[in-house]
Amino acid sequence: MSIVPGMSDVSSATPQPVISVEMQNTIRRLYSQARDLRVEVNRLKRQQVTNMETMRDIFLDTCRQLRVSNITEVSVQVNVVMIEPCI
Determine, yes or no, domain membership for 52: yes
**pLDDT tens readout for residues 42-81:** 999 999 999 999 999 999 999 888 888 876 665 555 454 4
Determine, yes or no, domain membership for 27: yes
Amino acid, single-letter form, for residue 70: N
Q: Report pTM.
A: 0.53
Determine, yes or no, domain membership for 4: no
Distances (CA, A) of 17 to 8, 21, 25, 35: 11, 13, 16, 25
Domain span including residue 51:
20-87
Determine, yes or no, domain membership for 5: no
Q: How many domains does the chain have?
A: 1
Lowest mean pLDDT among 4-13, 15-24, 26-35, 73-82: 73-82
Determine, yes or no, domain membership for 67: yes
Q: CA 7 to CA 32: how far, in whole Å?
A: 29
Of the candidates 59, 58, 78, the one whose C-alpha atom is nearest the C-alpha of residue 70 is 78
Q: Name residues whose C-beta falls within 8 Å of residue 8's C-beta, 6 or more positions apart in sequence.
A: 16
Determine, yes or no, domain membership for 69: yes
Determine, yes or no, domain membership for 1: no
